[in-house]
Structure 1
Amino acid sequence: MRRSICTQYRSKLIAVIVAITLLSLSARAAADGLTDAEHEIQPALEDLYKARAEAFVNQDIQKLKDYYLDEKISRIALEHEHNQIQYLNKWSDKRAIQLTHSQCAIRIIRQRITGDRAVVSLVQSHRIGYMYENRFLPEQFFGVGTRHFITLKKKDGRWKVSREWYLDPLDENPKKISDGPDGLAPSVKAKSSEPPKSQKYNRKRAVEYANKYAGAAWGAGNRHRYNPKYLDYTSKGGDCTNFASQIIGDSEGGGLPARGNWRYFDRSGGTQTWVQTDSFSRFLIGSGYGKLLAKGTYEQITRPSDQYPDSAISSLEPGDLIGYILHNNDTDHFSVVVGFDDYGYPLVNSHTADRYRVPFDLGWDSETRYQLFHIRD
């Protein structure tokens, strides 16, 4: 709240305080080599991403418009955020879930400012909470992480979004979300998130590895960074399969020994079977390390069948893998099952984009087909 200053003394005092503050800021800027404009970027971006995170719950798109320019490319960026918000809320409706919490933190990697224009790369860690409707269960949380390249333009004293690019885990059509009976897959039974003991494949360590190295996603360990032992294939088509291979094969993870063409070399990186989705999918079955329990749409893998009375998805255990097929019969993505929420819904971790304990079908649509791989113990 602003208060009017009536006396000359108070006016001078305020002037002195302001002058000291400005001098302090200038000295700090000189000390760390940053300009005044560069010091403005961090709070401007924190305000922007805070408003965007809150919009997932309050769906106040009108408020978000204030952060964007009235230009075509900027409007496209805003429409993308609108679509993302619609998708998450529509998915929540279909799963009988109420979004309760949305909060994010950002870390600026680099910034370049030229006049009234700033180009920034940053990492966002986003925490989302939800509760099941008509079920007495505690609030659940999951995290996603994204890497952003954003251009800002200063207009009327404010830095606003000119354009933005990032790999969005929720970039799907809100009108194409799979339906579930009663808003859920009721055959997904609540089970312990503690991985069972095994001989050959260490499920407990596999899950711990997946949680530690889930990258930028909220909740991940290792200071939100990937395992430095491995190359990051994000810019080479995606890091999801590289991460899945690490989870089941690294000695810190599941510990399955390298076999055939499934290998990682310290200097040259992973083989095609290690990093490429289709090759890895075929390897899991051909090597005997994995068993394909089922392949099908959301509706097909969540409904009871003669083979799986509780549904195929209910047969997965922590440490098992899910492949995602988008086009033709090619596997496009891999995630690892790390546990179940308090209702019993399977939760997954992955890279590209980074996910931490995210509901397994969030970010996918009704045309997605799922491959359910059980890793043999």
Structure 2
Amino acid sequence: MSKTISAAVCRDARYHLGFLLLCSGLGAAAVLAPFGIARLRSPASIRNPAAASREIPAAPLSSPEEAACRMLQDRFRVFMDGEVESLKKNYDTGSDTGLWAWEREAARSEYLSMWAKDRNLKIIETKARIEVDGISPGSAGSVWVELTEHAQYTYAPVSGPEGGEHEDPAWTHTFGSRAVHVLELKPCGGEWKIRRDWYSDPIGEEYSLPPCKFLVGRDDAPEDLYSDPAQVRDDDSPAEGGRYDRQAALEYAVKYAGVPVIEGSGKYNPDYKVYTFVGGDCANFASQVLQAGGLKEGYGWHYTSEGSALWVRGEDLIWHLISTGRAEKIYSGTFSGAVKRTPEYPYGAVSSLEPGDLIGYETKGQISHVAVVVGKDPSGYVTIASHTSDRLFFPWDMGWNDSTVFWLIKITY
């Protein structure tokens, strides 16, 4: 009888103790502990409702800044290994904008690979420095990240009749660019993914197919085809009393190209406004180079507190130079005509361009871009500098295609 009473008392004690613990807020685990089932855990929403809201969806493991830098760096790795599909995981392909951003990157990588292959070249090194300029919250957990991408590329000729690998290339050429990216990142399954990537691509926006194949043999190249300003011959300035100082124009173009990854280059000239987001800064930069080379302001072409229409608009600038006799259009047409060897131009009309000359790029019936010639690579391929999509020592046709009309402008001042 005493044992029965003791057991009943114990049960009552456990019941009342559990009731008191529950009412005191010590939790269900404390109530259940006397019954040997404390190992059972209540849902996160019961333990901490705020924690539950953070766990669905899972928070990304890295910061948006770290993720953005890593994903932009991945784009340069693909230029080397060709694994374009490996980039897809970085994009929110379930959204229209994310899918478009991914397809753009895939086309971009394919374009550069084809461009190099058609010219018997190989990209042997790519590297980039990514700077985070700002970050701000978006909608539904997304984040906007603004970054500046400083990129450098090096190519070399492919040796062997079948384009095999090479260990010691006969020569290399390095060129650089700067681009500003605005990324929208979305948290997906514990990772950040790119929903939008807005930027003006230095590699170009015309991603259908690169211009047709054209090879310049090393033995066929003229003696003075170099892109290094120190290697431009003194007689690159025009003969017969020409006043245009090509060396001064070249030095200005390199210094203010806005591509600091290339030695000798740096930021834009702070004495001039920047028109990148109001139509583009390419003509403004070209006008500055021309002025540095000795062209005098006048005939509506001038810069005071800001640039005139002839100063800042590419098509207007080119027509002004031609109509005033300061320049001559030596060719306008497709890529194949620009590189065609003729008695007048044994290496093609484009190869007659010198530092300080201009190239206009016509798309859909309008000159939409203008670049400054800064030299040639060791094989004789003309290289350029430009603003908006900041480029320095870039191959003159990279980023364009067979539908582009090229205007080759020789300064005759």
TM-score of the pair, normalised by structure 1 = 0.82
In structure 2, the partner of 1:262 is: 301
SS in 1 for 2:277: helix
Residues 28-177 of structure 1 aligned to structure 2 (within 5 Å): 40-72=63-95, 73-113=97-137, 116-134=141-159, 136-172=169-205, 174-177=207-210
Work out whether residues 340 and 348 of structure 2, in 8 Å CA contact, stay in contact via their aligned partners in 1: yes
Label 1:265 to 1:339 Cα distance change in 2 as closer, same or farther (>3 A).
same
Deviation readout 1:87-145 (Å, 9 max, x if unpaired):
11111111111111111112222111368321111211111111112385222111122
Q: 2: CA distance between counterparts of 1:157 and 1:67?
A: 12
Deviation readout 1:286-342 (Å, 9 max, x if unpaired):
2222121222211111112233233211211111111111122x3221111101111
Q: 2: CA distance between counterparts of 1:317 and 1:106?
A: 33
Residues 359-368 or 56-65, more deviating: 56-65
Asked if 1:212 corresponds to 2:255, the answer is yes
Asked if 1:244 corresponds to 2:269, the answer is no
SS in 2 for 1:319: coil
Q: Deviation of residue 57 (structure 1)?
A: 1.6
Asked if 1:355 corresponds to 2:391, the answer is yes
In structure 2, the partner of 1:201 is: 244
Work out whether residues 107 and 122 of structure 1, in 8 Å CA contact, stay in contact via their aligned partners in 2: yes
Amino acid at match of 2:109: I
Work out whether residues 218 and 379 of structure 2, in 8 Å CA contact, stay in contact via their aligned partners in 1: no
Work out whether residues 91 and 99 of structure 2, in 8 Å CA contact, stay in contact via their aligned partners in 1: yes
Deviation readout 1:31-64 (Å, 9 max, x if unpaired):
xxxxx99x92332222111111111121212321
Q: 2: CA distance between counterparts of 1:279 and 1:206?
A: 20
CA-atom RMSD, angstroms?
Answer: 2.6
Gaps of 5+ in 1: 1-35
Work out whether residues 291 and 374 of structure 1, in 8 Å CA contact, stay in contact via their aligned partners in 2: yes
Q: 2: CA distance between counterparts of 1:78 and 1:117?
A: 18
Q: 1: CA distance between counterparts of 2:396 and 2:338?
A: 12
Work out whether residues 225 and 377 of structure 2, in 8 Å CA contact, stay in contact via their aligned partners in 1: no
SS in 2 for 1:120: strand
In structure 2, the partner of 1:32 is: none
Label 1:222 to 1:372 Cα distance change in 2 as closer, same or farther (>3 A).
closer
Q: 2: CA distance between counterparts of 1:116 and 1:238?
A: 33
In structure 2, the partner of 1:376 is: 412
Q: Deviation of residue 185 (structure 1)?
A: 11
TM-score of the pair, normalised by structure 2 = 0.75
Deviation readout 1:134-177 (Å, 9 max, x if unpaired):
38522211112211111112233322212111112334555532
Label 1:181 to 1:263 Cα distance change in 2 as closer, same or farther (>3 A).
closer
Label 1:262 to 1:347 Cα distance change in 2 as closer, same or farther (>3 A).
same
Q: 1: CA distance between counterparts of 2:409 and 2:147?
A: 34
Q: Deviation of residue 370 (structure 1)?
A: 1.3
In structure 2, the partner of 1:31 is: none
In structure 2, the partner of 1:319 is: 356
Label 1:185 to 1:235 Cα distance change in 2 as closer, same or farther (>3 A).
farther
In structure 2, the partner of 1:334 is: 370
Amino acid at match of 1:296: G
Q: 2: CA distance between counterparts of 1:221 and 1:53?
A: 23
In structure 2, the partner of 1:309 is: 346
Asked if 1:298 corresponds to 2:335, the answer is yes
Work out whether residues 185 and 195 of structure 2, in 8 Å CA contact, stay in contact via their aligned partners in 1: yes
Asked if 1:286 corresponds to 2:319, the answer is no
Work out whether residues 214 and 220 of structure 1, in 8 Å CA contact, stay in contact via their aligned partners in 2: no
Q: Deviation of residue 263 (structure 1)?
A: 0.3
Label 1:70 to 1:324 Cα distance change in 2 as closer, same or farther (>3 A).
closer
Amino acid at match of 1:170: I
Work out whether residues 373 and 382 of structure 2, in 8 Å CA contact, stay in contact via their aligned partners in 1: yes
In structure 1, the partner of 2:403 is: 367
Identity among equivalent positions (%) equals: 31
